[in-house]
Amino acid sequence: MRVVAARLGGFVQRRGFAATARRLDSYGFVGLGQMGYQMAKNLQSKLKPSDRVIVFDINPAAMKGLEAEVKHATNGAAVELAASAFDASKDADTVITVLPEPQHVQGVYGSILTSSLPKKDRVFIDCSTIDPSTSRRVAESVTDAGQGTFVDAPMSGGVVGATAGTLTFMLGAGAGTVPRVEPVLLLMGRKVLHCGEQGAGLSAKLANNYLLALSNIATAEAMNLGMRWGLDPKTLAGVINVSTGRCWPSEVNNPVKGVTETAPAGRDYRGGFGISLMKKDLRLAMVAAKEAGANMALADAAFGVYEEAEKLDECNGRDFSVVYRYLGGKE
């Protein structure tokens, strides 16, 4: 596989320009939620017919749905349904997990790493967004069991990116493991950012999402403030986006309807990155910060905004930019 690497601020960004990944015979895939389902589809479609993808999810309908979708595919790997996470992993060379919370990751790996699991030099790729400490404990359990290597590879891009195969993965892995893991991730995404040793991918993602959580609230407040002073929202956003306040929430995901045509604000805040997911990532960042002894002066206030907004029917289940509505912004 031809890969171009460029060093960016301490980490290596890699982008693949070909799809000839190192082929392994058997892949286990555990977790077919909104993200995992689409990732598994992309993985299956880009493997060769002699490969296998063995999937498991606690929701049988998700497994059967994936099986039905690929049944008549003329290319790609065979898909098999497993009865458990253990069964999906026992013959696999590579196991990919995409799970909701730290306790789910711990539970799944606890069920996999039993004395009945055949010894093999597997690579476990966990794409869940959890706290780095839990991830490191799971990595230690894989090493202690002599079952290979565990890496963290949380992703950015949402369901749209998962469907299109354009995800960005933040990889925490030893340098020697990167060549083995990166080609697999590039079957499901567009970029792999190697952030450092195991756990570093999660640290990078949570630091980024902490900043995103704060800048989203600040953008909503600034837009509301300017509009209450009589400013036109597009004019205000135009000033911000060529000035020092410019950020992703102001430019791409503006919380005011009509400012950015493609933003969720124009769809009653439907789609996008859910407020519950932002609250979760913020909570995880706060846990990790406390363990690291890092002072997070704005964290509690920001968490309170997302927590209270999520309780409202008009905000629950919507994109995290809906905090503009919670703050009383004019719509």
Closest CA to 288 of 19, 102, 18: 102
Cβ pair 14, 194 in contact under 8 A: yes
Catalytic residue among 46, 90, 191, 205: 205
Distances (CA, A) of 26 to 93, 122, 142: 6, 10, 19
Cβ pair 275, 213 in contact under 8 A: no
Three-state secondary structure of 219-271? HHHHHHHHHHCCCCHHHHHHHHCCCCCCCHHHHCCCCCCCCCCCCHHHHCCCC
Burial class (CB in 10 A: 0-12, 13-18, 19+), 12: middle
Q: Is 205 a catalytic residue?
A: yes
| C-alpha–C-alpha distance, residues 62 and 30, integer Å | 11
> What is the Cα Rg of the chain in Å?
21
> Both tokens of residue 167?
């995800």
Q: Which residues does the annotation mark as catalytic?
A: 205
